[in-house]
Homo-oligomer: A and B are copies of this chain.
């Protein structure tokens, strides 16, 4: 682990994407979103991803030209994009700008993105929108990947299908970013690399036996990740995964049926403006009251009081901005390799 300065890290990532052909606005957006992932503590979905993105650019699988983002269909409140695998952080940021603009005029804006490249850490997009007093929602699935089994089945069909929502509050905003499966592909991969066992039986092996062993996921035929709710209540996580599938690939009309094999994402983006409903002040007052009641709930384990989603990440973010980001070894290795492959010397 090495502690790195957030601005220096962002500068390096920016330079790497510019050197790979991205314009200033694309490179700066990607660098900002990736570093934001690490600032919030999501190191599997931060700058570690840069190496893979840059490889995909060199292979022609990821695009860097902002012009690739095509508006396929548009109403005053809804936009359908085709991104031709343009880098996801730029694509999602553009969609959030469009839905924010629509929300300010109509109360809500919705965008759907076909064929985005990977979109990194969903939580990283939220705070710039909640700071404007708006409620952003981002859903994502990857039609090229099947890792989660439908409830009752044991062959994987879909992805963890994360859902993120930012909730303005009188105090800190609530930043939610959760998958509709018990665990993510990233955690399975990392646990396997570390040679460990998962904390819970979140996998099924390819014969349907619950397992904590990440190796059971990589067999042939493959194992699978259990939907949120597991063996007991997994019908609910499965249902929520279907919801994300419908609003991303379904609404975009492009997904698994099209035999996609390329790393990427189908994305649903929505922004709501509370001023068109009960007003921002009442919204914040209601959420603040809710947060207080949650925090006043006696802790189940002595000394471990209730934490609101995102608050630990925001505290970490403040600390990391001041003191630097403690990057895990695997992340640092990936950044150094990306720098070397990109012909830059890493300052870390």
Contacts and interface: CB of A to CB of B under 8 A. Distances in A.
Contacts of A240: 163, 176, 178, 240
A80 B108 CA distance: 13
A344 interface: no
A285 B251 CA distance: 11
Given A235-B309, A298-B155, A242 B106 contact: no
Interface string A78-115: 10100000000000000000000000001110101010
Nearest to A112: B277
Copies of this subunit: 2
Contact of A157 (B110, B285, B294, B299): B294
- Indicate the size class of the contact surface on chain A: 35 or more
A305 interface: yes
B238 A297 contact: no
User: Could you tell me the dominant secondary structure of chain A's interface residues?
Assistant: mixed
Nearest to A253: B278
A183 B285 CA distance: 29
A250 B236 contact: no
A47 to B, nearest CB: 25
Interface in A231-263: 232-233, 235-240, 242-243, 245-247, 249-257
| 5 smallest beta-carbon distances between A and B, as pairs | A253-B278, A253-B282, A153-B297, A78-B107, A257-B289
Interface of A: 73, 75-78, 80, 106-108, 110, 112, 114, 135, 146, 149-158, 163, 165, 167, 174, 176, 178-179, 182, 199-200, 202, 204, 208, 228-230, 232-233, 235-240, 242-243, 245-247, 249-257, 272, 274, 276-279, 281-283, 285-290, 293-294, 296-301, 304-309
21 contacts: A76-B106, A78-B108, A112-B277, A135-B246, A149-B297, A150-B294, A151-B306, A153-B297, A154-B299, A155-B298, A165-B243, A167-B246, A176-B242, A230-B232, A250-B290, A252-B278, A253-B285, A255-B286, A256-B286, A256-B289, A257-B286
